[in-house]
Amino acid sequence: MSTHVVINGERVAVDGTPSVGDLVAHQLGASAPDGRGVAVAVNSEVVPRGAWASTLVADGDHVEILNATQGG
Protein backbone atom coordinates (compact mmCIF):
# COMPACT_ATOMS: atom_id res chain seq x y z
CA MET A 1 0.00 0.00 0.00
CA SER A 2 1.09 3.55 -0.48
CA THR A 3 0.46 7.00 0.92
CA HIS A 4 -0.71 9.79 -1.36
CA VAL A 5 0.65 13.19 -0.46
CA VAL A 6 1.20 16.51 -2.20
CA ILE A 7 4.86 17.50 -2.16
CA ASN A 8 5.64 21.01 -3.36
CA GLY A 9 2.38 21.09 -5.27
CA GLU A 10 2.72 17.69 -6.96
CA ARG A 11 0.69 14.61 -6.04
CA VAL A 12 3.02 11.76 -5.15
CA ALA A 13 2.40 8.15 -4.13
CA VAL A 14 4.96 6.88 -1.62
CA ASP A 15 5.32 3.26 -0.45
CA GLY A 16 4.28 2.50 3.11
CA THR A 17 3.90 5.24 5.70
CA PRO A 18 6.80 7.60 5.12
CA SER A 19 8.24 10.02 7.62
CA VAL A 20 8.98 13.63 6.79
CA GLY A 21 12.64 12.61 6.76
CA ASP A 22 11.93 10.01 4.07
CA LEU A 23 10.25 12.63 1.92
CA VAL A 24 13.11 15.10 2.37
CA ALA A 25 15.66 12.45 1.37
CA HIS A 26 13.54 11.56 -1.66
CA GLN A 27 13.18 15.18 -2.71
CA LEU A 28 16.78 16.23 -2.16
CA GLY A 29 18.51 13.15 -3.50
CA ALA A 30 22.20 13.44 -2.76
CA SER A 31 22.37 17.23 -2.91
CA ALA A 32 21.97 17.97 0.81
CA PRO A 33 21.93 14.70 2.74
CA ASP A 34 21.93 16.34 6.17
CA GLY A 35 19.06 18.63 5.26
CA ARG A 36 20.86 21.77 6.38
CA GLY A 37 19.51 24.86 4.70
CA VAL A 38 16.17 23.04 4.30
CA ALA A 39 12.84 23.56 6.06
CA VAL A 40 9.61 21.57 5.95
CA ALA A 41 5.98 22.44 6.57
CA VAL A 42 3.20 19.85 6.69
CA ASN A 43 -0.25 21.35 6.26
CA SER A 44 1.18 24.81 6.95
CA GLU A 45 2.85 23.80 10.21
CA VAL A 46 6.64 23.82 10.47
CA VAL A 47 8.18 20.45 11.31
CA PRO A 48 11.53 21.07 13.08
CA ARG A 49 14.48 19.14 11.71
CA GLY A 50 14.74 17.14 14.93
CA ALA A 51 11.22 15.78 14.39
CA TRP A 52 11.57 14.81 10.72
CA ALA A 53 12.31 11.16 11.44
CA SER A 54 9.49 10.72 13.91
CA THR A 55 6.79 12.65 12.04
CA LEU A 56 4.79 10.39 9.74
CA VAL A 57 2.69 11.79 6.91
CA ALA A 58 -0.86 10.69 6.12
CA ASP A 59 -2.97 10.50 2.97
CA GLY A 60 -3.82 13.96 1.70
CA ASP A 61 -1.11 15.81 3.60
CA HIS A 62 0.35 18.87 1.92
CA VAL A 63 4.10 18.92 2.34
CA GLU A 64 6.27 21.90 1.47
CA ILE A 65 10.02 21.25 1.31
CA LEU A 66 11.91 24.52 0.96
CA ASN A 67 15.51 25.60 0.92
CA ALA A 68 17.44 28.80 1.11
CA THR A 69 17.89 30.20 -2.36
CA GLN A 70 18.92 33.46 -3.97
CA GLY A 71 16.76 36.40 -3.01
CA GLY A 72 16.94 40.06 -2.07
Q: Closest distance between another protein and the C-beta of residue 59, in Å? A: 21
Residue 1 CB, nearest approach to another protein (Å): 26
DSSP secondary structure of 9-40: TEEEEEESS-BHHHHHHHHHTTS-TT-TTEEE
- Residues of this chain that interact with another protein (CB under 8 A) are 8-9, 27-29, 31-32, 36-41, 44, 46, 48-49, 64-72
Task: Give the nearer residue to another protein in terms of CB position, either 28 or 56.
Answer: 28
Q: Give the closest residue to 50 by CA, choosing from 40, 60, 64.
A: 40
Q: Cα-atom radius of gyration of the chain, to the nearest Å?
A: 12
Give 1 or 45: the residue with its C-beta nearer to another protein. Answer: 45
